[in-house]
Amino acid sequence: MKKQKILTGDRATGKLHLGHLAGSLSQRVELQYKHNQTILIADMQGLTDNGHNPEKVASNIINVIADYICAGINPELTIICLQSALPALAELTMFYSNLVSVSRLERNPTVRHEIKTKGFKDSIPAGFLTYPVSQAADITAFSATLIPVGEDQLPMIEQTNEIVRKINFITKKEILKECKALIGNVGRLPSLDGKSKMSKSSGFVINFDSSDNDIKKAVNSMFTDPNHTSVDKPGKIEGNVVFSYLEAFYKDGNHLEELKLNYQKGGLGDGTTKKILTECLIELIKPMREKREYLMNDKAELINMLKKGTEKSREITDKKCKEVKDNFGILLF
Ligand code: TRP
Q: Whose CA is nearest to atom 6 of ligand 1?
A: 9
Rg (CA), the chain: 22
pLDDT score of 252: 96
Ligand 1 close to Cβ of residue 7 (< 6 A): yes
pLDDT value, residue 264: 96
Q: What is the pLDDT of residue 187?
A: 59
Q: For residue 68, report the distance from its CA to the centre of ligand 1, in Å.
A: 15
pLDDT at 173: 94
Q: Which residue has a Cα nearest atom 15 of ligand 1?
A: 10
Average pLDDT score, the chain: 95
Pocket flag, ligand 1, residue 138 (CB < 6 Å): yes
Give the pLDDT confidence score for residue 151 in this predicted structure: 84
Q: Boundaries of CATH 1.10.240.10 in the chain? A: 209-294
**Centroid of ligand 1 to alpha carbon of 217 (angstroms):** 31
Looking at domain 5-189+301-328, its CATH architecture is: 3-Layer(aba) Sandwich (3.40)
What are the start-end ranges of the H helices in 71-191?
A: 87-97, 102-107, 109-118, 126-129, 131-141, 154-171
Question: pTM for this one?
Answer: 0.93
Nearest CA to ligand 1 atom 13: 8
Question: How confident is the model over 190-218, as a mean pLDDT?
Answer: 91
Quick: pLDDT tens for 19-59.
999 888 999 999 999 999 999 999 999 999 999 999 999 99
Residues of the chain with CATH 3.40.50.620: 5-189+301-328
Residues 102/130, Cβ–Cβ less than 8 Å? no
CB 246 within 8 A of CB 272: no
- Average pLDDT, integer, range 302-307: 98
More confident residue, 327 or 121: 327
pLDDT tens, 182-203?
Answer: 987 655 789 999 988 888 777 7
Task: Determine the topology of domain 209-294 in CATH.
Answer: Tyrosyl-Transfer RNA Synthetase (1.10.240)
Residue 167: pLDDT above 70?
yes
- Of the pLDDT bands very low, low, confident and very high (cuts 50, 70, 90), residue 150 is confident
Pairwise CA distance, residues 77 & 43, whole Å: 22
**Residue 273 Cβ < 6 Å to ligand 1:** no
CA pair distance 208, 181, nearest whole angstrom = 27
* CA distances in angstroms from 151 to 14, 186, 294, listed in the order given: 20, 11, 34
CA of 41 to the centre of ligand 1 (A): 9
Report the alpha-carbon distance of residue 255 to residue 101 in Å, rounded.
53
φ, ψ for residue 41 (rounded to 5)? -85, 105
Helix, strand or coil, per DSSP, at residue 133: helix
Q: Residues 96-137: pLDDT tens digits?
A: 999 999 999 999 999 999 999 888 988 999 999 999 999 999
Pocket test for ligand 1, best of 10, 84, 159 (most atoms within 8 A of CB): 10
pLDDT at residue number 185: 60
**Nearest protein CA to atom 14 of ligand 1, as residue:** 8
Q: Do 139 and 7 meet the contact criterion of CB atoms below 8 Å apart?
A: yes
Name the least confident of 73-87, 176-190, 247-261, 288-302: 176-190
Question: What average pLDDT does this structure show over 134-156?
Answer: 95
Residue located nearest, by CA, to atom 3 of ligand 1: 10
DSSP string, 198-243: S-GGGS---BTT--HHHHHHHHHT----TT--STTS----TT-HHH
Report the distance separating Cα 202 and Cα 263, nearest Å. 27
* Cα distance between residue 319 and residue 316, in whole Å: 5
